[in-house]
Every structure is written in structure tokens, then in C-alpha cells.
Structure 1
Amino acid sequence: MTDWTLPSRRIPKQRAIIDRRALGERVNELADELGEKARQPIVEALRESLDAGRSELAKRLSEKPSAGHDCTAGHAFLIDQLVRVIHDYVVAHVYPVHNRTKAERLAIMAVGGYGRAEMAPHSDVDIAFITPMKRAPWCEQVIEAMLYVLWDLGLKVGHSSRTVSDTMKMAREDLTIRTALLEGRLVWGDQDTYEELRATFWNDVVKGSEKLFLTQKLEERNQRHKRMGDSRYVVEPNVKEGKGGLRDLQTLYWIGKYTHRVDTAAQLVDIGLFTTQEYRSFRRAEGFLLAVRCHMHVLTERAEDRLTFDLQRQVAERMNFADRPGKSAVERFMQYYFMQAKRVGSLTGVFLSHLEEETSKAKVRSGFFAGWGQKKRELKGYVIEGGRIRAPSDDWFKKDPVRLIEIFQLAEAEGVEVHPETMRQAGRDTKLITAAVRKDARANALFLDLLGGRNDPETALRWMNEAGVFGRFVPDFGRVNAQMQFDMYHHYTVDEHTIRAIGLLSQIERGLLKKDHPRATRVIHKLASRRALYVAVLLHDIAKGRGGDHSVLGAEVAQKLCPRFGLDQKETDLVAWLVLQHLLMSSTAQKRDLTDPKTIEDFVGEVRSVERLRNLAILTAVDIRAVGPGTWNSWKGQLLGELYDAAQERMRLGHKRHGRVERVNAKKEATTELLGDKGYLVADVGEMLADAYWIAEPEDIIAKNLIQYEEARRIEDHLSIHCEPDEERGATLVSVIAPDHPGLFYRMAGGMHLAGANIIDARIHTALNGYAIDNFLVQDLHAMPFREAPQIARLKEGIRKALMGEGELVPKLAARPLSHSRAKAFKVAPGVNFDNMASNNFTVVEVTARDRPALLNRLAHALYKANLIVQSAHITAYGETAVDTFYVTDLTGAKVTVPERLAEIEEELLEAASDRKQRQLEKA
């Protein structure tokens, strides 16, 4: 047999893990001494050996924290010895047979990860019990007895029990069974039965089905990647199933073994699928990923495969990663993790492409690569065949290193893939990219053409990054390669986020995202320099991880790089400004009151020109959307649109206040038309509402408010609550009209939180006759509107009970679970900032804190206790961090400016926002 079937060969000091002979003797002694009463003591003896073995392997892992192969092989060895002892005990003492018939033969085979001898501490034990023919009663009894003992040991056993012929029949029909048998390894029992199964499998099942197996495995892999986010750069990766994870490496084993009958990964070099260097790289990546998975199992004491934020810190510490200037230990660990995942992806691509060529099966392509079947042709010395471009010789890049850029530019322009051999060649030759190549005008022109490509620059840039050419040509980009951002907001590493943003920009330019980004789709074709915007998107996060403000540092990088790329001074200045201010528009739109004229004045004062505004709006959209799934929604789109339109109008008309009366009158006319028969409400009720209300609220909401107000006056308690889903805004509109009184806002917020609602915007108005007219936009815990009747009924009931003072809000709110408990893995120091310059009429209070249940309610309550009146609230969540902004005045309607008073308010808000306060409430 090969070393594939005997993993124990590579395990040092085996008896320190488990001494099978001593354990077997102990089990026999107990069986002889106690007879039928021996079972429980025997299970205890086995459990002691299992626990001791696991402790020894955990100790070895702590001493050599990157020794993944040793740890997983050790656990497989431990289970092997236990299975052997259990089998011998059952056949000798429980169901002894002195002269077995041909039917009374049993082979115990390890399959799956156990068969491959790659077992993390809490992996499933996958066993196949094989008999040569129809199972005799004795075989069934032995199998059942063994399984009960394994279960009593607390092991999670995946098992099957079949004859050789049944196994072959099922293997022909089921890919999973075929794959499991591929890794089958005899643990104990009848050798002849195992050899019969092995020979039958290779001769009757595998032979002739190699192409089908390859096709099915590739499709299985693609479907798995889609389920896992289709990126190897998600910030909470699945170490086993995710893209670039262990399953991708295992797929190579399976396909290599099936198509070439190799028994070890090392033999992939012998058949030419890997070079010796690539195999070493393969083993390093595999060993690291196995080690990470083992640490996760030890830490959680279960089969955990998702590397969550809380585990990342702990695994980084166990694997001896340390803090460095600008980068924490966990960020360095995760950067190394993603480098290994990237290596897995590169090796997988080369390996599979070789196999595809061997089997002469064209790769199925998607997108603009679909349908390629062209004849061989030449282009600038390159060969294009079968939808792939390749270098014509092994020294092609050495003769002219600029070709390392050109190959990817041509691939994008021609809509073809880069041949895997050429990808391998480019990766090998990246060292040819010297300072001289980086300064080369032709190389930079080619790079700009690629960056702003008209087909699919995202895909070509990703290939360029995978080959290592991108980071070598733009070293500043290389510094953020595989760099994660340790928070719950960003879903991808910095380089992946950037490449995705460039792809989104290209899609907007091609009109593919018109529904979600109509304004950006229109204005992108009015830009003075499209290439400047592409460069700005490339550089907007380029300085992350340097220990300072990445916007400021990034602007400095832009001033240096843009001239090298070939941009003129005007374009360079625009790019540097966009990088410096790339967060300005999203921050203003989400954290400031867009109906306050000062907000628009300040924003326009910074932006200054329509050209900058257009570029910034598009950059903001792609930056938010590239953060990850669900980060872009219609509400954010609407806020950005309102800010864009207001800023553009301010630039066109001059001072915003000049049109204030005209805007109010226009709103009243539009609302009168919307109301139809009830148009009289604009005159009757509208006079009691200040101009600020008319400017703040859209016509459709004003019309609903006026009708609701008329109804509230007729109700006995004068309290009216109206809720309806607003698909355009991506939220549910909640309008509450009631006689105003102190604490109204914080009570409403508490009632909504109790009903499971997250408030994303709040506008508070008080009519001249003392009625509060408050409009909220709320979403459920999945950032979706409340649509179902029971949901809306619960929302209304929660608000009404809170306003009526039914029940204690504080303990109920504290008992609600946080929608994403993973936030507890992060430390967010609460902070309070006061700004008396951001508004002419209000003090703007911005509170940053770790997101948690009813944070808004507690902050609003603190403002109420501080005798402040809230005019509007704007709620922004960045993963685990919440930023809540309030426009407030004191009881006289004036700003709060006295330093001592501000200090008192800050203290109250920090107390409300602190984790300590949350723990006190939970205990209460």
C-alpha cells in the first residue's frame, strides 16, 4: 500500500498519543474480569485514552502552532487505534465466532477527511463497513455494537454499511460516494474484502468516467463557491468550504487521484501538474489552513469551520502573530491567511486548466467570455486560441518586461482569458518589474488602458493581482494586497474591495446598473476625464494600514502616482482631492440633516464645482456598494441623491436661502394637488407648520401627515400611529401624531426597538398648536421594510404601549438580543462630538458607540434628561459601530454653547453609550 493508506508513518512518538497494545490489554482484562458488566468500564477506559490523546495533540499544536499536517494526521491515527481496539473487543468478547463463513467477513474503511488522514480535533468520523456479500447477522451485530461504543465516546460518526456490489452500484450513480471511496483507507478488518472493493472500484467505476468526474467536480466547486460568497477574500472566511479553502485543495487530490491514480499530492509533480516549487507552496498553504482549522476546533470544542471575528483574535494569538506599527496581530494573521487562500486559488487554476486540456474539454465560460471557439490567431506576437491568450515562448517576458502589463491589457481589450501557463509564467517573472519598468511610459499607458477598459477591467485586474503583477507594478497596491479591515462593516480585503469597486464603475459606465444608479449612469458620460475617476477609485483606499488617516495619506500617494500613470496636473489634482474627500459625501448624506441650509452650504464649500460633485457622487456609490452584499440600499441612494440635487442647485442658483419661500410655496402647491378633495388641509393645517417642516418632508409624506393629523384631532386620546412600507425608500414609514410632551421621542424610539425595528432616520416637528408630527423610517433586522400585517400591528402596539407608559421600557429593551452578537468581538470606545458650526439654528451632537439593542432609545433618554429638544436624528451603522447624530436645542430653542453644560451632556451620553451601562441593564 502507499503512504496514502498508512498515515501513521509520519506521526512521531505515537505511543504518547495512544498505546493501542496497552489499551487493548486493559480492555481484555476488563472484559474477562467483569463479563457482561464490562461495557461501561471499557467505554470509560476508551474515553480516557481519547481524552489523553486529544490533550497530547493539543499540547503539540500549542508548541508547534503551524503544524497542521502533524495535528490532523495525529487525530486520524488516534481514531484508527480506538476503532481497532473497539473492533477487537467486539469480535472477541461480545460476538465471538470461531470459524467464520465467507459471509462473516468485515472490512472497516475510513472515508472522507478521516480516510485522507486529515482530521481536525472535532471532525466527523466517516466510516464505511464493507462486506463481500449479503450481510450475515454476525456482521450486522458487530457493526451495531461498534457504533454504539463510538457514540458513547461522544464521537460524531458518519457511517454506511454495504456489500461490495451495492457500494459499486451506488458509486456509479452518486458523486459523493465515488469521492468518498476515492479516499477510502483500510483501518482494520478483512484485507481481502478491502482489496476486492478497491480493484472493482478502479476497474468498473473509475475507468472511462474520468471526464465526467472532472466536469462534475468543477460544477460542484463552482456551486460551493457561490454559496460561500464567491470570493476568497470575505472577511469571515469558511476555512473548509470557502473559496481558497481546504475543500479546494481536496478537490485537487480527488481529481488528480481519479484521473491519474496518484496516491499523494507529491505525485502531482511527477505527472507534470505542478512544479516542485508549486508543490511546496501547495503544502505550505495546506499546512497553514489545517492548523487554523485545528486551532478553531480546540478553541470552540466543536467542529467549527467559519473563522469568525472573535476566533480571528484568538487564533492569531495562538499562532504567535504580534502587533506591528499600523497593523494589529489579527490583521497581520488575516493578511497571511488571505495570502494562502490566494495561493490556493492560483495553484487550483493552473492544475485544473492542465487537466481540462488533457481531457480536451473546453472550459465553460460565462459573461463576455461565453461562446468563444475561435481559430488560432496571432496578436502582437501573442497566440490566441480557444478564447485564451498565451505567451509564445518561455523567455517572452524576459525579452520585454512591459509585456507583463500588456498581456492583461490585451486580455481585457480582446475579451479573452489569460492562459494558465502564461499566468504561471507571469507570476514567476514578476521580479522583472523593476523601477525602470514602473516608470516606463508605455507600461503606464497600457495599465491605464486596462484600468479603464471598456469590456471587463475587474476580471483582468483580478488576474493581474492573482499573478502578483499588480502589486509589483503598483507597490502601494501591493501593500494592501490581502489586507483585511478588522470590522463587521467591510466584507472583503482592501485589494478585493478596490477591484470590485472598479468593476462596479465599469458596469455603471456600460449602463448595466441603471436601475440602482440612474443618476450616476447619466452623469458619468459628462465627466471631463473618465480615466481620472478610474484612478481615483483605484487609489481611494490605497493607504489603509499605514497607521494614519488613510484619506490624507492616500492623497499624497495620488500626487506621486498620477503623473507616473500619465495624468496631467489638472487630473492629478482632481484624483488627489477625490481620494482625500472620498468619505465626505456619504458622511454628509447619512449623518447630517439635508434640510438644514448650512449642511448644503458647508458641503458645497468643500466641493466647489459640479465636475468634482459628479466624480465624488459616482465614487461614493461604488465605494459603498463594493463594501459587500446589502451595504447599498435604496435609502442610501435616496440620501445621496437628495444631497447631490441640493448641492447642484446651490451651485446653479447661488445662496440656498434665496429660493426658500419659493420652495415652500411649490411644496404647498404640489401637496394640494396630491390631496385632491382634501386639498383644503394645506391651508387649514399647513399654516401651523413651520417652513422647516415643508422643506424637510417630501410632498407624499406631507400629504399623508395632513390627513393623519385631521384624523388625530377626532380621536379621543389624539394619538395616531400610521405605518406603511415604502419600497422606494427601502424602509417602512412610521408617522406618529400626538400632543407633544417631554420624553416623547425617546419613548417612541423604545417602543419601535421593542417591536424589532431599527430606526434609520427620524424627523421631529412640533406644530404651533403643540402637536408633535414625527416621521421615522425603520427597517427590520435584515435591513428590509416591515411589510407583513402582523409585523406592522406589532410595531403600532409597541409604540402605543411605550407612549402610554404601559410596562417598563428599560428592562425590556435590555433583554432584547443584539441582532449581530458578533459585535461583542470588537472594542468600540464611545465618543461624543459637538458641532455648533454645522447648523445655524441647532447644536449637532454626534455619538459613536458599539451597536447594541436600543442604543438610540438610551441616547434619546439621556438627551431628554439633559433638558434638550431633539429636532432630527440620523442613524448610521458601520457593522459593529453605530454613529447617531442629533440636531438639538435647549428648552428656549437656542444652541448649547456653554462649555460646562456641554461637558455635562457629554458625560450623560457616554454613560448611556457605554458597555458598562448595557451590562447593568441586563443584570437589572
Structure 2
Amino acid sequence: MAADNLMPESAPGTEIPLAAPPKVKGRKKIVDPAALEETVDTLWQETDGPDAFRTELLKLLRHTIDDGRAEIERRFLESNDGAEAVRANAYLMDVVVTSVADTATQKIYRNANPSQGEQICVAAVGGYGRGEMAPFSDLDLLFLLPYKQTPYSEQVVEYMLYLLWDLRLKVGHATRSVDECIRQAKADMTIRTSLLEIRYLWGAETLYADLRERFRKDVETGTETEFVEAKLAEADERHERLGDSRYFIEPNIKDGKGGLRDLHRLFWIGKYVYKVDKVAGLVERGVLTAAEARKFAKAQKMLWTIRCHLHYLTGRAEERLTVDLQTEMAKRMGYTNRAGAVAVERFMKHYYLVSKDVGDLTRIFCANIEAENRRKPRLRLSWGFQRKQDLGDFQVDGDRLNVVDDEVFSRDPVNLLRFFHTAQKNDLELHPHALRLVTQNLKRIDKDLRKNEEANRLFVEMLEAPQGPERIFRRMNEAQVLGRFVPDFGRVVAQMQYDMYHVYTVDEHTIVMLGILHRIEKGELAKDVPIASEVVHKVLSRRALYVAVFLHDIAKGRGGDHSRLGERVARRLCPRFGLSEEETETVAWLVRWHLLMSYAAFKRDVNDPKTVEDFSAIVRSPERLRLLLVLTVCDIRAVGPNVWNGWKAALLRELYWASQETLTGQGEEAGRKGRIEKAKKALHDALTGWPEEEIERHLTLGYADYWLAYDLDTHVRHARLVREAETEGRELAIESRVDAAREVTEIIVYTSDHPGLFSRITGAMAISGANIVDARIGTFSNGMALDVFWIQDEDRKAFDRPDKLAKLTVAIEKALTGRVNLLSELVKRRRSIERRARVMKIPTRVLIDNKASVTHTVIEVNATDRPGVLYRIARALREIKIQIFSAKISTYGESFVDVFYVKDLFGLKIDSETRIQEIRDALLTALADDAAPPRSDSGDS
């Protein structure tokens, strides 16, 4: 692409034609302009005065809009053609706006011979100017004047706007002279972009032509580079604000990465820089190939179709593809269930692939302009060395890696891997010309290349490179090289994780996880994950760890246990990657058990010796323990923002240390005693100013589990709370602490222990609008209970409003003293299940395990999360005389997995099959969506 292609071909003064109206098939069935004009004329003649006429005109235009929209929607639902629908909507609005303008100037404020200063032009701008309008988008208008506003033009504009507003249209408008438009376009890039898409609707054509000519001559000419830079920076800011990934579970169709706005950016730059009005013009200029232009049209049509469905389904300008809409969307767009994939997953995968196509197109297009017109080498000390070194079939162009000729990939297909390897090694961006060649040569990634020893060596070197694999693997994934070189990975590209826990698709989650592992190695996360940051440098199998991270979810979406299926994939792929037999065994084991540590830490009591015993029996070696810890931390942090927290870190840390002691032969029991004594001594030293006898008495209160469950700061806070309660003779003490970093509020309840205590506290929290995300139940040797809860509000934020916290305290006090009927209050409060939970349809499961603990029966409950669910579970267990000794509360998106360590009324494990079935039935009844509220009794009233 030559540099002079950036300059306009036509000389100043060339006549500017009026922009063509949207092309719509069967337009008269939507609205017939001539018939509408005739009806308006008839109304004007038959009504008595302007006010009566306006009333009848409103009725007519409302019917016109309603009928036109109904026809457009009917056609759209039949054809699923969003591109046609948005043109039809723009056409309908063109007719309405023109009719309103004619009415204002020919009937209400008739001016047979307007002066030059009284001329008006009405133009469409923005997306409406392109002739595209979603069902509930704004109507963006420019009222163009020759000079400053006159009384006449003010009357006309005011009449039009009020009429359009009364038609319930959302009108974005500006009234400016030509000079004002030019001046503001120079100063404001948003206005400049809006005027770039201007389209004539009605009025003085000379004003429109004058503005177009002056805009091209005074604004566009010579500022192409400035415009491109602004649009690229604007896109970067928008992507960062919305989350710099196109692989979110609930993407923004309009403004998200890979959405319509990115296609619009391509259109804007093409029009501004290359002076073309259609994508076909970019093909003529050689900017895009014909195949890429077809891909552009196909992507735009699908995105418009999705956006129209969103608007019609919600009845508003909704741009986010939320999960409650995705199932219906898939149905409307003709997706059906197939083996291994349900309709909604197929639809979303198609969306992600289209979104990736948009990224490919806009990257190639915009990077071409960057590379040839504004890019300068980044300053770096080693740049001179890099320019001199031999890069083989590649060369540095600016700060981008390009090819020496167009035959490099056909000459040696290994170069398809070597290209990315070289870019990573030298910290270079990828030249768009080379990327296009990569795309054109993807067919060369075949069985022979996959078996090629050098290609696999390069691949693994990139995976474990000191620079980190995240950036280059994302580029390889976007270029489709990653999925073709490792077809098993290709199967999870754009694979939706339809659980509302994971934020990303499977491939993006994996790439994010690789980046997190690299950051842990570099020490960037040492504050958040100190143990993982320490032990990662002790692992002996670093290469195996990186390969395991890459493969850990490789078998998702295959209709089975992805851990077991993934183990088989790992055993097949690792030898191909050049890993030794020992490394292969390690990778396969890590893939098979990559969920083990999180399961043991979050769903079992890490202070129960049986938990550590069972976990250690599977791990069997300190090296595997280190590897599994690091992998688990990376996996959790890569799920999405706000998933990792200090509570999870503490549980994993406790499990790690306890297991390490067992695996290194130190003796778990001896290790526990040592850690307990260490915790007690630390508290002893921290309680400065306390009498020695008070300290000693407090140290005798907690059982072993208590000292291992909390850190020093928490032990200190508990000690002060207990001391105050005893000094003041209070039977109930409640303390709250907002943890802004974790977006939770910690509630501590210290009171006398008795049956039903847990259920009453959880009930009080439910009626107060608190969502319990975690809980720890504890009993002291003095018969007092110290229960700790971590709660959020209904928006999943910290429960931090002072008035709500005060009401919560009162509710707990009333619940514990029997002054509130929890069941009736809960029924009043119970709101509808959140939209995502309704869609997830998570099956209710109750698992009862007598092998997980020597001393307790373990009950695991998995179901849809909703207000008061923990209270219902606790109450159901209390009603059948089951004592809860500890609880593990885990929320995963819209589902929960709660684990309870329980005993019967006599303090024994429950081993009777009849009793076990009774527990299961009671819980399933309590969790049934349509279950009638249980009968109130004195225990909860």
C-alpha cells in the first residue's frame, strides 16, 4: 500500500453528491411516503386549527411508526437478517423525519420565500448517518444552518424536536452553522467522527454540500494520521474499560472487543483516510482482500442480527448479551442441540469466532496504517543489536517482525512456528503483512508439521520462555496457529464455560492462566500468593508445570470428566512435545488431579486429619504438592476478577503446610501441635497490657481447630471481643468488619451455644438481605459459640451500609431471642431468582459421605444459589436432630456447594442407611423451588 494512497484523489471543489438513502426491499409495505404525505395534507385541511392538527398528526405518525416497526420485526424474525433490519429502521425514520420537517415548514411555519439566513438542512449523523439503526437506538440529527440561528429556524427546530419527542423517539440532536461544525470538528474527535458519517435527509442541499466540501478540505486533509491515532487510542481505552478480552461470558455486542464498534472503526478510518464510502472501496485500494471483505460483511450481518434480537427481546437498547437471553437468542437464530454441544453453546461459540474475525480484520487494517504512517521503533537499549542480528527468513520493520519474502512459509512450514518464536524472543510486535501470510498458509499446518521435532521444540520453548507465553500464545490463538498446531486445543477455542463462575472461554482462561503463572514466577504476585511465589522456584519440573497449565482444561466440552479425559490427551501429546517419560507422567498426573487441591481445601475441613490423610495419599510427593499448589492458585485466579481472596489463600496454605508435614515424614499430628503452639504464643505476645491470668484463660478456650483456622490479627480481634463480652456480662456480642479488598463484610457472633443457633443466625441474615459467601462455626470450651460469617449484599458487594448493618444486628438479636418469625419474614423477602440462575438450571445434589472424616458425617449440597438457602438447609437439618459442627460455604457464580460436618444428637457419626435417606429427603424438600414454606414453630418464631 503506497503512502500516497492516504491522500484524497479528488481536488478541492469537486461536487459532493448527496448520500444515498438506505436500500430496503418492499419499502412501501413499511411506510409509503406518498400515501403518508397525502394523509397529512388531508388532516391539515380537515382539522380545526394547529393544535387539533398536531393531536391528529401525532396519532397518525405513532400508527405509522408502530406499523412500520411491526413489519420490520416480522421480516426480521423470518429472515434473521440484521443488516436488512437496521436499514429498514433507518428508512422508516427517514420518512418520519422528512414528514415532520415538511409539516413544520410548509404548514405550521410556512415561509414561501425564506432568506438565505433562514435556510435549514436536516441531516442524519452517527450510525443513523450510515443508514443503520437498531430497533431502539437513538435518532441522531443535525440541524444545519448557514449562519447563526434565526427566530424562524428556532421555531422550526423546536416544533420538530417536540413532535419527535412526543412520538416517544430518543433524539440526539445538535443545531449548528457550517462554520460551527467545522470549528468543533477540528477540536472534538467525537464530533468529527459523527460528521464523517453525515447523510442528507431534508432541506437546503447547498448547506449539506458546503459542509461536506469544507469538512473534506479543512478537516480531513492533512489530518489522516491524527484521526487514525485518535481512533486507535479510543478503541484501546474502550476495550480496557469493558475488559480487554472478547471472550467474556456476557459480551457487549456494540462496544466490547470484537463488537460492532470495532467494525465501525474500520469503516471510519477507511472513509477518512482512503476516501471510500463502502468496504468494497478498500478492496479496490488493496487494503483488504475480497475474501476479507466478505468476512467483514458476514461478521457485520451476524453482529447486527444479534443486536436486533437483543433490542426486540428486551424492548430497549440492550447491548450486553446476558446469559438469560442467550438460550432464546440461540433458538431464534436457528441453533439446535447436537451431539456434545447444546444449542446455546453452539451459538456462543459462533459468536466468539465471529468476534475473533472482527479482531483479525481490524488488526490487519489498522496495523497496516500504523506500520506505514505513524509507527516508530520503541526505544530500547538492545535495539541496535537486534537490527544487526540474523533473523533468518524474517526481518525487523519498524518494531514489527516481517518476512523477507512471501515464500517463507511455503518454503519451510516450520517458519509458521519460528515466526512467533522469533517475535517472542526479540520482544517484537507482528507485522500485519506477515500475519496475513500466516493466515493464507494455515493449511500447511498438517500432520507432518505437528510431528516435526523442530516445530515442537519451538512450541515448548515459547511455552516456557523467560518472556512469558501469554502475549505470544494469544497472538498465535488469534491467528489460528495454536488451534491448528494442537488440534485438541482447537476444540476448546471459543468453548463457552456455561457455569457463570468462569468469566472467560476455555482457551482464553488457559492463556490468562499461563500469564498468571509467569507473573508468580517473576514475583509480581508475592503479596497475594506468598507461598506459591516461594515454592514455584523450588519445583524441579518447571517445563512440566507450564505444559500442564496449557493442557489442564484441554478436554472440556467432550461430555465426560474433563480431568480424566485430559489425562489421556496429555499422555498422547507430551511425547510429541519432546517431554521425557517422567515429565509426561507428571503432566498427566497434574491434569488428572488439577481440581483436587481446591476440592480438599474448599469442600472439606482442612483441620480434619482425614482430609489431609486422603489428600496426601493421592499426592504422595512434595514435588507434586508444590506443582499442584502453584497450578491451583493460577487456575483460581484465572477464573475471573474477584474470585481469589484471602480466605481461599488461607485454606490452601493450611492444606499445603499440613500435607507437606505428612509427606516429609514430620508427622501431621506433631506439625499441628507445633503450629498450634506457635499461634498461641503469637497471640500471647500480641495481647500487651492484658493480665497474664486473663491471657492464659483465653488460650484455654479454643480447641485445636480454632488456632489453625485464623491468622494472628483475627485471633487478636476475637480475644478482645470475648473479653469485652465477659467483662460487660453480655450473652450476645456481634462485631462487623468491612473487607473492601475482598468486597465482603465479616460478621462475628459470640453467644452461648445451643441447637439451632446456626440456622437462626443464617435466617436473620437472609431476611436482612445478606448473602452468605463463607462461614466458620466454632465452639469454645466454656460452652460459648464463636461463629464467623462473610457476607455480601444482593449486588455481590460488601454489606457495608451502616443502616443495613444495624438492622442486621437487630435481626440476629431477635432471631436468637425468638422475637421474629424467620419463615414468614423470609417468604416476604424472597425475591425472584436472579436471571442467570434461572438460565443455569443447576440440578440439586445431596451427597452424604462417611469416609471423608473419621469423626463426622460429611454432607455436600450443590444447588442454585438464592436468598435464604443456607437457612433452609440448616433448619432442615435441625428439624431432624442433626448437629452441624462446621460448615464450608462456597459460591460458584449462581450455584453453591455447601459442605457440613455433622453428627447426630448423641455426638456420633450417622451410619444408618435409613437415617441417611431421611437426611437426603429433608434437604431435597427444603431446596425444592416449589416447596411450600415449612410450618412455623417456636424454634424460629
Same fold per TM (> 0.5)? yes
Q: Could you report, residue by residue, the CA deviation over 1:764-794 in whole angstroms, capped at 9, with x for unpaired residues?
A: 3334553223233445567666667666545
In structure 2, C-alpha distance between the alignment counterparts of 1:663 and 1:110, rounded to whole Å: 73
Q: Which residue of 1 aligns with 2:5?
A: none
| Partner SS state of residue 526, structure 1 | coil
Q: Which residue of 2 aligns with 1:49?
A: 64
The reply on whether 1:11 has 2:20 as its aligned counterpart is no
C-alpha change, 1:667 and 1:247, in structure 2 (3 Å) is closer
Q: Within 5 Å, which residues of 2 pair with 1:652-731?
A: 652-653=664-665, 655-659=667-671, 664-676=676-688, 677-681=690-694, 683-684=696-697, 686-687=699-700, 689-698=702-711, 700-725=713-738
The reply on whether 1:352 has 2:341 as its aligned counterpart is no
Q: Could you report, residue by residue, the CA deviation over 1:834-893 in whole angstroms, capped at 9, with x for unpaired residues?
A: 011111111111111111112212211111112111111111111011111111111100
| Partner SS state of residue 118, structure 2 | coil
Shift of 1:134: 2.2
In structure 1, C-alpha distance between the alignment counterparts of 2:836 and 2:691, rounded to whole Å: 50
In structure 2, C-alpha distance between the alignment counterparts of 1:80 and 1:730, rounded to whole Å: 49
C-alpha change, 1:117 and 1:728, in structure 2 (3 Å) is closer
Shift of 1:747: 1.2
Q: Which residue of 2 aligns with 1:896?
A: 910
1:832 counterpart (836, 846, 870):
846
Q: Which residue of 2 aligns with 1:106?
A: 120
C-alpha change, 1:918 and 1:637, in structure 2 (3 Å) is farther
Shift of 1:49: 1.5
Q: Which amino acid aligns with 1:266?
A: A
| Partner SS state of residue 736, structure 1 | strand
The reply on whether 1:249 has 2:263 as its aligned counterpart is yes
Q: Percent identity?
A: 45
Q: Which residue of 2 aligns with 1:484?
A: 496
Residues 378 and 399 in structure 2, CA contact (< 8 A), matched pair in contact too: no
C-alpha change, 1:4 and 1:267, in structure 2 (3 Å) is farther
The reply on whether 1:23 has 2:26 as its aligned counterpart is no
In structure 2, C-alpha distance between the alignment counterparts of 1:317 and 1:223, rounded to whole Å: 34
2:305 counterpart (255, 270, 291):
291
In structure 1, C-alpha distance between the alignment counterparts of 2:933 and 2:763, rounded to whole Å: 18
Residues 252 and 259 in structure 2, CA contact (< 8 A), matched pair in contact too: yes
Q: Within 5 Å, which residues of 2 pair with 1:842-881?
A: 842-881=856-895
| Partner SS state of residue 117, structure 2 | coil
Q: Which residue of 1 aligns with 2:101?
A: 87
Q: Which amino acid aligns with 1:282?
A: F
In structure 2, C-alpha distance between the alignment counterparts of 1:891 and 1:897, rounded to whole Å: 13
Residues 427 and 467 in structure 1, CA contact (< 8 A), matched pair in contact too: yes
C-alpha change, 1:373 and 1:658, in structure 2 (3 Å) is closer
Shift of 1:554: 0.8
Q: Which residue of 1 aligns with 2:89?
A: 75
- Indicate the larger mover: 836-845 or 794-803: 794-803
In structure 1, C-alpha distance between the alignment counterparts of 2:215 and 2:287, rounded to whole Å: 24
In structure 2, C-alpha distance between the alignment counterparts of 1:552 and 1:443, rounded to whole Å: 28
In structure 1, C-alpha distance between the alignment counterparts of 2:89 and 2:385, rounded to whole Å: 49
Shift of 1:214: 1.1
Residues 883 and 903 in structure 2, CA contact (< 8 A), matched pair in contact too: yes
C-alpha change, 1:371 and 1:233, in structure 2 (3 Å) is farther
C-alpha change, 1:665 and 1:205, in structure 2 (3 Å) is closer
Residues 43 and 152 in structure 1, CA contact (< 8 A), matched pair in contact too: yes
In structure 2, C-alpha distance between the alignment counterparts of 1:907 and 1:861, rounded to whole Å: 14
Q: Which amino acid aligns with 1:734?
A: I
Structure 2: runs of 5+ lacking an equivalent? 1-14, 936-941
Structure 1: runs of 5+ lacking an equivalent? none
Please, what TM-score do these two structures have when normalized by structure 2? 0.93
Q: Which residue of 2 aligns with 1:524?
A: 536
Shift of 1:831: 1.1
In structure 2, C-alpha distance between the alignment counterparts of 1:249 and 1:369, rounded to whole Å: 37
Q: Could you report, residue by residue, the CA deviation over 1:347-381 in whole angstroms, capped at 9, with x for unpaired residues?
A: 1111011112342443889xx99999975764123
In structure 2, C-alpha distance between the alignment counterparts of 1:659 and 1:456, rounded to whole Å: 37
Shift of 1:633: 1.7
Shift of 1:3: 9.9
The reply on whether 1:122 has 2:136 as its aligned counterpart is yes
In structure 1, C-alpha distance between the alignment counterparts of 2:17 and 2:567, rounded to whole Å: 56
C-alpha change, 1:173 and 1:698, in structure 2 (3 Å) is closer
Shift of 1:513: 1.8
In structure 2, C-alpha distance between the alignment counterparts of 1:245 and 1:45, rounded to whole Å: 37
In structure 1, C-alpha distance between the alignment counterparts of 2:601 and 2:750, rounded to whole Å: 26
Q: Which residue of 2 aligns with 1:430?
A: 442
1:503 counterpart (507, 510, 515):
515
- Indicate the larger mover: 451-460 or 706-715: 706-715
| Partner SS state of residue 69, structure 1 | helix
Q: Which residue of 2 aligns with 1:222?
A: 236
Q: Which residue of 2 aligns with 1:408?
A: 420
Q: Which residue of 1 aligns with 2:765?
A: 752
The reply on whether 1:883 has 2:900 as its aligned counterpart is no
In structure 2, C-alpha distance between the alignment counterparts of 1:552 and 1:303, rounded to whole Å: 44
Residues 763 and 776 in structure 1, CA contact (< 8 A), matched pair in contact too: yes
Please, what TM-score do these two structures have when normalized by structure 1? 0.95
- Indicate the larger mover: 568-577 or 438-447: 568-577
Q: Could you report, residue by residue, the CA deviation over 1:782-841 in whole angstroms, capped at 9, with x for unpaired residues?
A: 766666766654543332232223333234444165896533332111111101111111
| Partner SS state of residue 778, structure 2 | strand
Q: Could you report, residue by residue, the CA deviation over 1:533-561 in whole angstroms, capped at 9, with x for unpaired residues?
A: 11111111111111111111111110110
Shift of 1:754: 4.2
C-alpha change, 1:326 and 1:489, in structure 2 (3 Å) is same
C-alpha change, 1:173 and 1:508, in structure 2 (3 Å) is same
- Indicate the larger mover: 812-821 or 474-483: 812-821
Residues 555 and 577 in structure 1, CA contact (< 8 A), matched pair in contact too: yes
In structure 2, C-alpha distance between the alignment counterparts of 1:919 and 1:78, rounded to whole Å: 53
The reply on whether 1:34 has 2:47 as its aligned counterpart is yes
The alignment yields a C-alpha RMSD, in angstroms, of: 2.5
Shift of 1:683: 4.2
C-alpha change, 1:465 and 1:375, in structure 2 (3 Å) is same
Residues 120 and 294 in structure 1, CA contact (< 8 A), matched pair in contact too: yes
Q: Which residue of 1 aligns with 2:647?
A: 635
Q: Which amino acid aligns with 2:213?
A: A
Shift of 1:97: 1.4
- Indicate the larger mover: 688-697 or 382-391: 688-697
Tell me the number of residue pairs that the alignment of Structure 1 and Structure 2 aligns: 917
The reply on whether 1:452 has 2:467 as its aligned counterpart is no
- Indicate the larger mover: 825-834 or 725-734: 725-734
1:270 counterpart (236, 259, 284):
284
Q: Could you report, residue by residue, the CA deviation over 1:405-430 in whole angstroms, capped at 9, with x for unpaired residues?
A: 11111111111111111111101101
Shift of 1:735: 2.8
The reply on whether 1:550 has 2:562 as its aligned counterpart is yes
Q: Which amino acid aligns with 2:648?
A: K
| Partner SS state of residue 525, structure 1 | coil
C-alpha change, 1:732 and 1:544, in structure 2 (3 Å) is same
Q: Could you report, residue by residue, the CA deviation over 1:750-772 in whole angstroms, capped at 9, with x for unpaired residues?
A: 23344454434333333455322
Shift of 1:139: 1.6
Shift of 1:168: 1.2
Shift of 1:522: 1.5
Shift of 1:704: 4.3
Residues 16 and 212 in structure 2, CA contact (< 8 A), matched pair in contact too: no
Q: Which amino acid aligns with 1:476?
A: D
Regions of 4+ moved over 6 Å:
1-4, 368-374, 726-730, 918-921
Q: Could you report, residue by residue, the CA deviation over 1:674-710 in whole angstroms, capped at 9, with x for unpaired residues?
A: 3343442354355465444445455554454444334
Residues 375 and 386 in structure 1, CA contact (< 8 A), matched pair in contact too: no
Q: Which amino acid aligns with 2:811?
A: G
Q: Within 5 Å, which residues of 2 pair with 1:570-589?
A: 570-589=582-601
Q: Which amino acid aligns with 2:302?
A: F
The reply on whether 1:203 has 2:217 as its aligned counterpart is yes
C-alpha change, 1:191 and 1:732, in structure 2 (3 Å) is closer
The reply on whether 1:569 has 2:581 as its aligned counterpart is yes
